[in-house]
Structure 1
Amino acid sequence: MDYDSDSSGLDDDVQGDYTTTSVLLGFAEDEATDDTTSHLGGWPTWLDPSTPPPGNFAKCKSCNDPMPLLLQLNADLPEKFPHDERWLYIFACTRRTCNRKQGSIRALRGVKKHKMTSNTQKDEAKAKDKKEPKESPVPQQNIGATLFGVAPGNPSATTNANPFSTTSGSTGSLANPFAQLSSPSTLAAIPPQKPVDEAQKEDRSLPESFADKVRLSPSSPSSSPPPTKTPELTGPVEPWPAQSSFPPPYRHYFLDAEYETISRPSTPRVPSNVQIGTLDDDPSSAGAAEGKDTFESSIDKSFLKFSTRLGHSPEQVLRYEFRGTPLLYSTTDAVGKLLSPSTGSAHVKVSAAARMPRCGVCSRERVFEVQLVPYAITVLEEGREGIGIGKDEGGMEWGTIIVGVCAGNCGLEREGEVGWREEWVGVQWEERVGK
């Protein structure tokens, strides 16, 4: 089987008959874990309970009704954004009439910056200087976000902390709620991440975590143009709707995670006393061969790769890899055509990240971070018909939900305050096949 570029991280760790990739898989669990942030379904919680998102983020862009939560994920990246707390959310409308409509599934990123970066401080200083009259104002120059990718694992290489982890306020050490510590099914409960001094970071030791299994390539300057800052939105903010305004929530599931492993197909041995014939040897099989060719030509090959890849871990509900490559349900729909690798005039492949719409606030590129896959529908909709939902509620019809996020993790330019950003969502809907 050809496991090619539909998802990144292949051949990171080849051991015998299986391959471990750099893609982190999430699994829904009934049993309570120590991680109180990441979950499937249920009610959302906020980085700061006193600062919920603007209420318009809760509403479907088609019917304007509040939408229930599909996923809440602790997405801290201490090595990439050491002073930022960041959580991700996915909401989806339950109305049957909104299925397949733009804006019926939305993604939200909450970020709290505990310390402004040096670039941010320079930008603020330049903004103040612009208020004073000068003969020849100097255009603002910003350094683009550095690009780094995931390469084959190496325990001695520089590592990145788990994007699902938080840091302990009492000890300052990093811990990963998705790390495989004493048990693969145990997640660590950690208070929100706090900033630490550079000297402290050099002295502390990292536990076995997501970071210890991901190797980062050396940073290189981005070829994209410098980002252009957009002023923060002003004016009255619509409050987040009351719980009574929402449809009944999906059942709350805790999340466990482990790295994806793919079994490597073996070449079967043919006994010496067995002869292998071809379809040409048997004229009666010609019709079967023609039917087989017709069947295979009618199926999107990308869907076959999608379903085969998921089949290695059929109970996965999400796939996570910051700056990774999404696993495409199809390459023939609008999202598939946008994100599938393409070859330019110089025979250079254009990545999915380069094709995602840029951040609407800071103009930086967006990169893939997480996607929901079909088994999430199975667990979320199980038993939902018995909780008094509306008659117009329909089942979910998506094949995968792909979320692209701002590569620079932009937020409010004020320390300690939570900022909210809507992120790009690429929804690949289920194929409707006629008779």
Structure 2
Amino acid sequence: MPPIDDDWSDSDEEDVSEVETSVLLGTPDGTITAAGDLGDAAVSRIGGHPAFLPANEPPFSSSRCVICSKPMELLVQMWCPFENSPMDRALYVWGCAVPECQAKERSVRAWRGLRYNDAYAAKLEKKMAKQKEKAIIPEKSKPKANPFSAMGTLNQTPFGLGAQIFGDAAPAASSAGVEAEDDGAESDTTSSDEELLTALASTTLEESPWRSAPSYPPLYLSTCSEYLPAQPKLKLPPGVQVVDPLDDPGKGDKDVSWISEAYENSLDVDQVFERFTKRVAYEGDQCVRYELEGTPLPYASDSVLDSLFPLPPTPPVPVTKAVFTVMPPTKRTYDPSSIPPCPVCKSKRVFECQLMPNLINVLRRDADGKDKRLTDEERRTLVEQELKRGKSRGMEWGTCLIFSCSRDCSLTDDGKEARDSWREETVLIQWGV
């Protein structure tokens, strides 16, 4: 982190260390070789074949490109159950690398798989009943837990198993986020949670068209919190305050200044891209950015930016020369109202995560399986060239934004509750052209 001039600080002794944001970053973390992990839906991955949650194997057509009808490769699979939900949940994203399909809608497709967990549902019901009886924490003041954490502890064991995938300790977590009782009333939490994880049935791919589907080498997908350098503060006269109306008090102590920053109308492609690369540069290995109900990080100035960050109506310009008015710059702010609602339950869709350009570099390998990853500078140069020339070869999107049903419904087509479900979600792609 570059040094910060003391003149920009309110105090010479102020802590200018990095600040944690509300974003989780998914990064590659080694090749998956264990058969048990390959078939476990609770193990998040890059590439490989999917491990399905629904009892009935999803139709193979789910992985077909809508443009060329060819089966696509799995890009990522993420274990991400919603907080306090009895449903096991995984998100699957496929992408087409056929050059003719680039810059076209639905060449990247995302699906969520749900499965009702009876054992955990009973435990969750018991847990919630105890909390209600004791009135430990008012509902409105409960901190938001990490959706990836099986035990609900913020930023611990993200994507279900987290660091325990590689550690010696056995995973001690169930599928949904609920913290263990502090009073020790549930001393068997560890053993029971191990049993629940072990009981997660993973659909095998034997005798299935998924078995012969094209795929990239499977890699573990682990996560870490995003940290950014603390922003310097100007010295202000006594009694003067600078208030940012875009700050979201619901984020707690997290730094959301980067996320909530408004976009000026004057931004062009290069400026938006520069802001994107500057933010990403703090963790160049990131392949996924996850922030359920958060704000996406735009990649380029295009129709997707216009739909998610629309321009507000501008006030009329004064026509009289005698009046001199200073017109403030027009700002863009995040507005996801253009995202279509869930076609089943009609609930709104919310931003869940986005795939990053480095994912393409991680997946790109030659015929011998040799890694062809680019350095940060090579990747930056390549993407800048693509932005300026408007050319795409293979899978060369800038970012893929995924929006999921806010209710995470598990309904049949006629609206009845189902024990498991398989539903496609909305993907917006920024190609950078």
Aligned twin of 1:166: 150
d(CA) in 1 for partners of 2:333, 2:407: 20
Per-residue deviation, 1:251:
1.7
SS at match of 2:298: coil
**TM-score scaled by length of structure 1:** 0.59
Equivalents in 2 of 1:202, 1:57: separation in Å?
A: 45
Equivalence map 1:203-352=2 (5 Å): 241-244=209-212, 246-247=213-214, 249-264=215-230, 299-330=269-300, 332-340=301-309, 342-343=311-312, 351-352=334-335
Q: Give the Å deviation of 1:200.
A: 12
Distance across 2 between alignment mates of 1:421 and 1:361: 9
Instruction: Determine the structure 2 residue equivalent to 1:423.
Output: 425
Aligned-partner Cα distance in 2 for 1:264–1:199: 35
Structure 1 CA distance, aligned partners of 2:172 and 2:109?
A: 28
Report if aligned partners of 1:76, 1:162 keep a CA contact under 8 Å in 2: no
Note closer, same or farther for the CA distance 1:182–1:66 as it changes in structure 2 (3 Å cut).
closer
Are 2:61 and 1:56 aligned? yes
The 8 Å contact of residues 43 and 220 in structure 2, kept in 1 or not, is answered as no
Q: Measure, in 2, the Cα distance between the counterparts of 1:324 and 1:77.
A: 14
Percent identical? 32
Q: 1:204 to 1:399 in 2, by over 3 A?
A: farther
Which amino acid is 1:90 matched to? V
Report how far residue 181 of structure 1 moved: 8.9
Find out whether 1:366 has 2:345 as its counterpart: no
Match of 1:108 in 2: 111
Q: 2:53 aligns with which of 36, 41, 47?
A: 47
The CA distance in 1 between the partners of 2:15 and 2:143, in whole Å, is: 21
Deviations 1:203-244 (A, max 9, x none): 669x9xxxxxxxxxxxxxxxxxxxxxxxxxxxxxxx973432
Q: CA deviation at 1:17?
A: 3.2
* TM-superposition CA deviations, 1:329-354 (whole Å, max 9, x none): 01x31211111254369999864432
| Contact in 2 for aligned 1:94/1:396 (Cα 8 Å) | yes
Q: How large is the RMSD of aligned CA atoms in angstroms?
A: 4.4
Amino acid in structure 1 at the alignment position of 2:403: G
Unmatched 5+ stretches in structure 2:
1-13, 122-140, 190-206, 234-265, 316-329, 371-391
CA distance in 2, matches of 1:30, 1:256: 9
Per the TM alignment, residue 46 of structure 1 is displaced from its structure 2 partner at its CA by 0.6
- What amino acid sits opposite 1:27 in the alignment? T
Are residues 1:72 and 2:77 paired? yes
Does the aligned pair in 2 maintain the 1:178–1:257 contact within 8 Å? Answer: yes
In 2, the alpha carbon distance for the partners of 1:195 and 1:311 equals: 31
Offset at residue 420 of structure 1 (A): 0.7
Q: Label 1:53 to 1:188 Cα distance change in 2 as closer, same or farther (>3 A).
A: farther
Aligned residues of 2:92 and 2:112 also touching (Cα < 8 A) = yes
Q: Match for residue 254 of structure 2?
A: none
Runs of 4+ in structure 1 deviating by more than 4 angstroms, as ranges, are 31-36, 177-188, 198-205, 296-299, 344-350, 413-416
The answer to whether the 8 Å contact 1:114/1:194 transfers is no
Separation in structure 2 between the aligned mates of residue 178 and residue 195 of structure 1, nearest angstrom: 11
Q: Which residue of 2 aligns with 1:133?
A: none
What is the alpha-carbon distance in structure 1 between the residues aligned to residue 272 and residue 331 of structure 2? 21
C-alpha offsets along residues 82-109 of structure 1, whole Å, 9 cap, x if unaligned? Answer: 2121110110112121111221110001
Matches within 5 A, 1:141-156: none
TM-score, normalised on structure 2?
0.59
The answer on 1:377 being equivalent to 2:345 is no
Find 2:93's aligned residue among 90, 93, 101.
90
**Comparing both chains, which one has the higher relative contact order based on Cα–Cα distances under 8 Å and sequence gaps of 6 or more?**
1
Query: Which residue is equivalent to 1:30?
Result: 30
Cα distance change on mapping 1:92 and 1:184 into 2, 3 Å: closer
Which string of whole-angstrom CA distances, capped at 9 and with x for unpartnered residues, describes residues 22-77 of structure 1? 101111011659885201111111114x4222232121101111111001001112
